[in-house]
Structure 1
Amino acid sequence: MFRTVARHCAQAATRAAAKPKAPVSAGALFANAAVRSVRHASQLARATRGLYSTAPVVRLHKGRLMSTFQRNKPHVNIGTIGHVDHGKTTLTAAITKVLASKGKAEFQDYSSIDKAPEERARGITISTAHVEYETDNRHYAHVDCPGHADYIKNMITGAAQMDGAIIVVSATDGQMPQTREHLLLAKQVGISNLVVFINKVDAIDDPEMLELVEMEMRELLSSYGFNGDDTPIVAGSALCALEGRNPELGEQAIEKLMAAVDTWIPTPVRDLDKPFLMPVEDVFSISGRGTVATGRVERGVINKGAEVEIIGFGNTTKTTITGIEMFHKELDQGQAGDNMGILLRGMKRENIRRGQVICLPGTVKSHKNFLAQFYILSKEEGGRHTPFTDNYRPQVFIRTCDITATLSHPDDPEHMVMPGDNVTLKVELVSDIALEEGQRFTIREGGKTVGTGVVAKILE
């Protein structure tokens, strides 16, 4: 490293001598050379692979020195879900503040989590936001999920990335429509354990009100198939924790919440043996480096330099992974469960989109037509009030994809599908996407979830 810095110093001095300018100090030459050397940290990373546990590799990210990601604790994906304005984003910020005081997180304030201008203007979260922190036992990637009905599809994407969840409910309101919808979606995407945080306890005077909210939440959890009797319920105030007041409702409640998360939400068993697959959640360009696709790795492992395919929406493209990053830390290998960004060689941003998947070549195919086993939600569960017949066209949410489909009965075109029915239907998508038998998905119409399905048989 220092030889490289010295070389850059010498080169800089030669250039300065050749082109007389204002005097340049030796310190400035060294600083500039050091920065240029750190920019070559990817070469250094390759040379020191396997040594980062004692000598972290550094590189520049937005002008800051970044280290290699270290897997010294189990990695768990968690998130905040619940009704709009019940305090999900405030709680996320409060968790980072309390853990930052213990050196286990970088404090993220409300505005840095609620990034989009329209979110701040309306005081709601639209797209999912990712935050990193640690406890004594685990490393967490935290997804802050939207609670506003207009943007529920982003919540579906967020929930699909979670191993467990914190459902936030306001002590002043109790359970609300999106509390119930988020619980339903959490169950659909396979979340088995969650912890309840009753927020805004500082805003109520009657302790019986708190008991009523807790009792209602336990009943609601049981009605959606969760363990309502034993699920930990923590009461407190995220705002108190954020503002550093009333420690019993603030900081101590957050500590109690994270202890419950550590113990109640099981450490997931990662599917490392199957071929690599990552659904694309977002795509962006980094000036001078290329195109990055982000998402949660569904299964398998992948190394820098590996060849992959990008599949879906009528395209199958081969490319090579030139870099892997998680929370601005460099990885040599990505694994199932990682929320990470993949740098793709020779790809333009417009050539890849959310809803596609990145996988090992030849392991996954895209399809448009399949049979699926459906459960259509009843009116009481928030579903349709009326039946539907052939050529019904809802939106299908599968992995990170949101796509229009036509549903029809395989044998009887006149068959009426009633709310509450279990039924097998043929599905035709408007475009092909990566599909596998046994895959779960959700159907929505008019801003609400109307059913869930499992791919039973590919028809092509």
Structure 2
Amino acid sequence: MIGGASQADIAILVISARKGEFETGFERGGQTREHTMLVKTVGVRNLIVLVNKMDDQTVNWDEARYREIEGKLSLYLKTCGFKSEKDTIFIPCSGRTGAMLIEHPGPKVVSWYTGPTFIEYLDRISSFDRNIDGCLRMPIVQRYKDMGVIVLGKIESGQVRVGDRCLIMPNRTRVEVTNIYYEDIETDSSVCGENVRLKLKNVEEEEISPGFVLCDMIHEPCHMGRAFDAQVAIIDCNSIITVGYSAILHLYTTVVKVELKKLISLIDRKTGNETKLSMPFIKQDQTAIVRFELSEPNATICIETYKDFSKLGRFILREDDHTVAVGQVLKINP
């Protein structure tokens, strides 16, 4: 889910309006909360909330139930960083009948909702600004062999053409792009924002792993490292976190184990100012500046500071299949 969300510009959160089902997903530790936090952390810009099952007999298109869900969820979305009017929209709907997905069922069914249907809203979304003229950055999601080596991913910056000579980081493998496929159609070029398949030569499938990044050879390639300073927000941890703590780092499509090496300072969530640590640990609902290092000796990953390239500068820390913290890379250490 995290790897897929990392490539998305828009997320669709489907909520059940049925009595008890929304409450189960929204309570602390529920998937509604976790998934909302995850999509914002990995950089999703717009969120569409479909309040589904409005036709259920326990709801029957009741406006009060819809407003109750909208009110509770809107407050949480703000804490995640979504701006209610600019970034999000709530739409009541029925997946069973299709009401409000393509067409409005009419005032006899839903007299109180006058906003757009799901498809109407999608059609109204403005195009996103893309850095087409920037350096090529395509994090690799998957690779396989089919009459040559194929890599899949979303071009996050720049563009690529057939015949381009590129680098695969962090191994600095020199490759040439021989074929480009966009939506299963072969093309001569592709630009940022597009999910593509590229056929490469001068490389073997075993030399590529998810999380590697395809870069052009004109600009400086992406940074790589094994230790970094970061600002982390602890969102769900039942115990204290001290030096030596380890968790699974999810950074775009990279998944590696990291270890906490140093606690640097605390961040006051109200003022944003740094303060000294009064205790040798951090805990839930605290934000801190810390230093992480990859657990595997001699390993390196493609990584950027959040300021320089946000897609490769955001990360999530998970433990036992739940999200412990979210963070941003501040500095890559040599």
Quickly name the TM-score band, shorter chain normalised: 0.7 to 0.9
Sort the Cα spacing of 1:291 and 1:211 in 2 relative to 1 into closer, same or farther, 3 A: same
Structure 1 residues 213-246: Cα deviation after superposition (integer angstroms, max 9, x where no partner): 33333333234332336743222222323xxxxx
| Larger relative contact order, structure 1 or 2 (CA cutoff 8 Å, min sep 6) | 2
- TM-score, normalisation: structure 2: 0.80
Q: Please give the TM-score of this superposition, normalised by the length of structure 1.
A: 0.59
Give matches, 1:49-448, under 5 Å: 155-172=1-18, 173-174=21-22, 176=25, 177-206=30-59, 207=62, 208-228=64-84, 231-241=88-98, 248=99, 251-252=102-103, 256-263=117-124, 265-286=125-146, 289-312=147-170, 315-361=171-217, 362-377=220-235, 383-409=236-262, 415-429=280-294, 430=296, 431-438=299-306, 439-448=313-322
- Relative to structure 1, is the Cα distance of residues 456 and 232 closer, same or farther in structure 2, using a 3 angstrom cutoff? closer
Residue pair 2:264, 2:290 contacting (<8 A) in 1 also: no
Deviation at 1:411, TM superposition (A): 6.1
Letter in 1 for 2:285: G
Q: Which has the larger share of strand? A: 2
Amino acid aligned to 2:90 = I
Structure number having the greater helix percentage: 1
Instruction: After TM superposition, give the deviation of residue 406 of structure 1 in Å.
Output: 0.9
Q: Report if the CA contact (8 A) 1:167-1:195 is conserved.
A: yes
SS in 1 for 2:260: strand
Q: 1:410 to 1:234 in 2, by over 3 A?
A: closer
Larger Rg: 1
Q: Quick one: distance in 2 between partners of 1:187 and 1:424? A: 20
Task: State the one-letter code of the partner of 2:138.
Answer: M
Offset of 1:209 from its aligned partner? 3.3
Aligned residue pairs total 290
Structure 1 pair 249–456 and aligned structure 2 pair: CA distance change class (3 A) = closer
Identity %: 28
Amino acid at match of 1:316: R
| Distance (whole Å) between structure 1 residues aligned to residue 131 and residue 243 of structure 2 | 38
Please provide the CA RMSD for this pair.
2.4
Q: Please, which runs of 5 or more residues in structure 1 have no aligned partner?
A: 1-154, 242-247, 378-382
Question: For the residues of structure 2 that align with 1:369 and 1:168, how far apart are their CA atoms?
Answer: 38
Question: Where do 5+ consecutive residues of structure 2 fail to align?
Answer: 106-115, 266-276, 307-312
The 1:213/1:298 distance shift into structure 2, 3 A limit, reads: same
Aligned residues of 2:142 and 2:151 also touching (Cα < 8 A) = yes
What is the CA–CA distance in structure 2 between the aligned matches of 1:210 and 1:373, rounded to whole Å?
Answer: 36
Q: Secondary structure at the match of 2:39?
A: helix
